[in-house]
Amino acid sequence: MKKLFQKNSETVNLNRRSFMIGTASAGLVMAFAPAFFSGSLSAKESIAQQAFSPTIWWTMNTEGGVEVSIAKAEMGQHIGTALARIVADELECDWEKVSITYVDTHEKWGYMVTGGSWSVFQSFKPLSQAGAAGRIALIEAGAKMLGVAVDTCHAEKGYIISGDKSVSYTDLVKKGEFNRTFTSEEVATLPLKPANKRHLTGLKQDFKALDIPAKTNGTAVYGIDVEVEGMLYARPVIPPTRFGSKVISVDDTAAKAIKGYKGYEILTDPSNTVEGWVVVLADNYPSAIKAVDVLKVKYKKGNAANVTESDIQKEGIRLCEQTDSGTLFVDEGNIKKTQSDAKELLESMYTTATASHYQLEPLNALAQYKDGNWIIHTGNQWQSLTLPAIAKALEVAQEKVIIRPYYLGGGFGRRLFGDWTVPAALTAKAVGKPVKLVFTRADDSLFDQSRSASVAKMTASFDKNGVFTGLEHAFAAGWPTKAMAPGFLSPGVDGKGKFDAFSASGADHWYSMNSHRARAINNELVQSTFIPGWLRSVGPGWIAWSLESFIDEVAHKQGKDPVAFRLEMLDAKGKQAGKAPESIGGAARLHNVLTKVSEKVANIKLGESEGIGFSASSGQERTMPAWIATAAHVHVNRGNGKITLKKLYIVVDAGLIVHPDGALAQLEGSALWGTSLALHESNTYQNGQVSATNFNTYLPLRMKDVPDMDIEFIQSDEFPVGLGEPGVIGIAPAIGNAVFNAVGVRLRNLPMKPDELKKGLST
Amino acid sequence: MVTFTINGKVIESHASEDTPLLWVIRDEIGLKGTKFGCGIGMCGACTVHLDGQATRSCLLPVGAIAGKKITTIEGLNNEHPLQKAWVDEQVPQCGYCQSGQIMQAATLLATNPNPSEDEIANYMNGNYCRCMAYKRIKTAIQRAADESQSVVNIFDPNAQDA
């Protein structure tokens, strides 16, 4: 992810661009001038004449209303509110007058992706600068209008104030002349507010998300709600294998009896996104559902037609048992020597089962050819990855494809690569009409980019005194990045091979160890069976299961308290010292949250068969660590093996918190996701496809299963990091460690199943 | 053709009688607030009121509701105490399930104005929220119950016909 992150940084690196603030008919416009812009026109001329297609980050109208453009997908994280808040804080405008607009795809927005918990982290600096530039331009204009020196003025809540004189932003926009360009050098040195001057962001702020009211009255528009004139409805027929299926014949005799049935299309996809696809058309969706149910399609199945969950797990175990498989992700000290010198080794094998997204809005896309462009109406997280696939499928230039933004009825990573848009576009092209392709829940499940099952082999070394000397962590899974964005694979630390950093992050932990090796291994059986997906918390979400459970095992082996053992290793020395700004403080901050959470639970009186377990995590990655410590309080029913999660205690240090209530909502949701993946939900591959295709067999956590939660944020003025996913990571190992502390059974397979616990209790 | 009342208006549907009410509401009548989630009555996103009872519209054939009264999220007219509580407690994340959650909760408060935490969890357990905003859903129901001072006045547009 380092590479991906660098690429992303380039697109938001404003140091090589200039800012323009000029008066236009709509009021005041703040735009980035693209790097290629010659600069022969002034800011005002450029903006007024639309000399280039400006990346307008905000505009201010003559009423003082500020409209902030949002190039991120809204999928429940209230991202527009957080980003607008960052702009408004620096701009010193009145929050009551701020609104947001989600934008269509366009190359001017740079690399468009909403994922990785990156949005606030990556946008914080550029959007702060965009706001600060506006404030400076307004101060300059205000000083001129008031007839005072610029350095006597300051901006405050929509006014420029100098002594007892003031002028409102509204008047300035009405009467002032703005023609201000900030050179790239000026942009680079724009001062950002110190923490004590922030009035719209930070832990003490209490404000409401802009997208919420529409989500309480049915007016929020999701992709599935879009209609255009003359469109046909469509439902896919999901082929028996994700790869290599071929349609031999289609018999629609029975479908023809269905009112509204409009035939079917067999798709040929130049982008190879879908293989062996048939799409059924109707003038209404329920007829399309029925028609697919009675359609008889004969296929030549792909090679993975018989693959099972157990095949995948066995392959993972085989790969992890090899001593030199995979790509080196971490290689500190000399693990081979440490192991050969060791008096004793401790080995454990951990697994996680396949998990599904089940975002509640099933996949859908409406494809429409209009005025020479292909308009794709859909909720999508990674437009810059999806657009090229659609363009290739349609055999048109990428500039001819526009993805229009809608609310996402859940993203969680499933809506990153928009593979489902391709069959919608191909069908629309084939029939010459707009096509709204909607997946049923079962279609969606079968076409899911599942979180791959995983296997991890842990090997700890101990010297003659029984002291821990090194850790080898080998882990095998399907790699989403290899399947969908192979250009983003990272090279091994020894320069050999490549690996998916999203499926390795978390193994590069913040504990100081003399010897530490992490090997990322690709399970190729996964790659050839389905497209493994990024699922909320991605690699750290399953890697921490083995790491943080095994740390407890290593502590117990040495007769140490697991928390004390962690704190001892969180010494913030060497590479664990962290880097400014994003990981400043390093392991010391993880030490701090772990100390705090352990103090929180120190005096809890445990009942019979109860235990508390801990974990420490720093997702999503070392370059953007949200420092989180978790304590889980569980009860184990010794009779039936049922684990009840009574309460979660979570302490989080994520730097400056831009939107505190939104951040809390993300932590609540992600903690419950972690709980669900730990105790409730999993899928199983059978015959090359997932077997649980609806909510009658796929069983995530429901309201009755919700534990109590005590979530505390550390007051911090450090650089803000992402929070959408990191809360998931530490939950499962904290529960597993709690179960061990409660009844002495070490569970190593996720989800934790009562049967396995019962078996452990009886041996 | 099936005639029924939706949000106080009499409607004639021309869909086949076996068409699930959900699609009639969404695509024939054009009220998009009621959502499609699972199609088997297991997620609750499609919950509407059928003569005042919370009902999964994805399973209910339109032919079965002749002469009945349907209320959807739009029919609450932004006036239901739950809708205010949902904003006050900042419940929705992605928001996709929330119409169904609110419609389900409304029928709880209609019969049990001061539900206990367990009663809420039992009543709401069939409504799935993938963002897992469950804690806030529960708190918002309690808040609406508290603020409605023991009797919840539910806005019922169908009542205007009576």
Contacts with A697 from chain B: Cβ below 8 Å: none
Q: pLDDT of A483-542, one tens digit each? A: 999 999 999 999 999 999 999 999 999 999 999 999 999 999 999 999 999 999 999 999
Residue A56 confidence (pLDDT): 79
B89 and B128 assigned to the same domain:
yes
B70 with B6, same domain: the answer is yes
Please tell me whether residues B65 and B93 are part of one structural domain.
Answer: no
What gap in Å lies between CA B59 and CA A645, rounded to an integer?
34
Domain hosting B50: range is 2-74
Which domain CATH number covers B13?
3.10.20.30
Shared domain check, B68 and B23: yes
Radius of gyration of chain A (CA): 27
B23 near B15, Cβ under 8 Å? Answer: yes
Question: Does residue B118 sit in the same domain as residue B88?
Answer: yes
Q: How sure is the predictor about A3, in pLDDT bands with cuts at 50, 70 and 90?
A: very low
The rounded distance, in Å, linking the Cα atoms of B91 and B83 is 10
Q: In what order do the strands lie in the sheet with A159-162?
A: A154-156, A159-162, A165-168
Is A728's pLDDT higher than 60?
A: yes
CB contact under 8 A, B95 and A76: yes
pLDDT tens digits, A191-249: 888 888 889 999 999 999 999 999 999 999 999 999 999 999 999 999 999 999 999 99
Residue B39 touches chain A, beta carbons under 8 Å:
yes
CATH number of A223-303+363-438: 3.30.365.10
* Cβ-contact A423, A279 below 8 angstroms: yes
Q: Is residue B154 part of a domain?
A: no
Quick one: average pLDDT of A697-709?
98
In chain A, CATH 3.30.365.10 covers 2-216, 223-303+363-438, 310-354+450-524+534-762
Whether A17 shows a pLDDT value over 80: the answer reads no
What is the amino acid identity at position A531? Answer: I
Domain closes at, from B74, B99, B123: B74
- Of the options 2.60.120.650, 2.30.130.10, 3.30.365.10, 3.10.20.340, the CATH number for the domain spanning A310-354+450-524+534-762: 3.30.365.10
Q: Is B116 touching A (CB cutoff 8 A)? A: no
CATH code, B110: 1.10.150.120
Residue A15 has what pLDDT?
42
- Determine the residue of chain A that is closest to B58 in CA distance: A286
The mean pLDDT of B29-35, rounded to a whole number, is 98
- The residue with tokens 């500039």 is A399
Q: Does residue B70 share a domain with residue B111?
A: no
Cβ-based contacts of A704 with chain B (< 8 Å): 121-122, 125
In chain B, what residues touch A702 (CB-CB under 8 Å)? Answer: 125-126, 128, 134
| Closest by CA position to A284, among listed B22, B71, B41, B7 | B22
User: Could you give the 3-state DSSP secondary structure of residue A237?
Assistant: strand
Q: Across residues A142-168, what is the average pLDDT?
A: 96
* Residue that finishes a domain, picked among B34, B57, B74: B74
CB A262 within 8 A of CB A292: no
The listed CATH number (1.10.3720.10, 1.10.600.10, 3.30.750.24, 3.30.365.10) that belongs to domain A2-216 = 3.30.365.10
Q: Does B64 touch chain A (CB under 8 A)?
A: no
* pTM exceeds 0.90 for this model: yes
Q: Which of A3-12, A341-350, A729-738 has the weakest average pLDDT?
A: A3-12
C-beta of residue B129 within 8 angstroms of C-beta of residue B55: no
Separation between Cα atoms, residue A693 and residue A444, nearest integer Å = 8
Confidence at residue A296, expressed as pLDDT on a 0 to 100 scale: 98
Minimum Cα–Cα distance from B102: chain A residue:
A216
Same domain, B82 and B140: yes
Contact A426, A393 (CB under 8 A): yes
Q: What is the mean pLDDT of chain A?
A: 94
Query: CB distance B128–A695 less than 8 Å?
Result: yes
Q: Are residues B65 and B88 in the same domain?
A: no
Q: Which residues of A touch B91 (CB under 8 A)?
A: 212, 216
pLDDT the model gives residue A54: 57
pLDDT tens, residue by residue, A267-281: 999 999 999 999 999
What ipTM score was computed for the predicted complex, to two decimals? 0.95
- Confidence tier at A22 by pLDDT (50, 70, 90): confident
How many residues are listed for chain B in this entry? 162
Average pLDDT over residues B137-156: 79
Q: What span, in angstroms and rounded, lies between the C-alpha atoms of A262 and A182?
A: 57
- Asked if B31 and B85 sit in the same domain, the reply is no
Name the residue among B38, B96, B131 with its Cβ closest to that of A694: B38
DSSP A32-82: EEPTT----S-HHHHHHHT-S--EEEEEE-TT--EEEEE-S--SSS-HHHH
* Mean pLDDT calculated for residue range A426-434: 98
Is residue B156 domain-resident?
A: no
B70–A contact, CB cutoff 8 A = no
Residue A179's pLDDT is 85
pLDDT of A4 reads 39
Based on the fold, state whether residues B57 and B106 are members of the same structural domain.
no
Which residues of chain B neighbour A209 with C-beta distances below 8 Å? 90
In a domain, B65, yes or no: yes
Q: Is the pLDDT of residue A37 over 70?
A: no
From the list A220, A286, A703, the residue facing B138 with the nearest CB is A703
Residue B160 covered by a domain: no
Select from B21, B42, B74 the last residue of a domain. Answer: B74
Domain assignment of residue B100, yes or no: yes
Q: Across the interface, do B23 and A676 touch by the CB < 8 Å criterion?
A: no
pLDDT at residue number A44: 76
- pLDDT classification of A10: cutoffs 50, 70, 90: very low
| Together in a domain, B21 and B46 | yes
In a domain, B137, yes or no: yes
Q: Which residues of B touch A408 (CB under 8 A)?
A: 94
CB–CB of A360 and B93 under 8 A?
Answer: no
Question: Is beta strand A685-686 parallel, antiparallel or unpaired with respect to A624-625?
Answer: unpaired
Q: What is the mean pLDDT of residues A409-427?
A: 98
Q: Please judge whether B90 and A661 are an interchain contact, meaning their C-beta atoms are less than 8 angstroms apart.
A: yes
Q: What is the mean pLDDT of residues A56-66?
A: 88
For chains A and B, what is the number of CB pairs under 8 angstroms?
Answer: 171
For the stretch A371-399, pLDDT in tens is 999 999 999 999 999 999 999 999 999 99
Average pLDDT over residues A399-411: 98
Chain A residues near residue B41 by CB distance under 8 angstroms? none
Extended beta strands in A463-583, E state: 468-477, 490-491, 498-499, 515-522
By percentage, how much of chain A surpasses pLDDT 90? Answer: 87
Question: Tell me, what's the pLDDT at A32?
Answer: 73
Number of domains composing chain B: 2
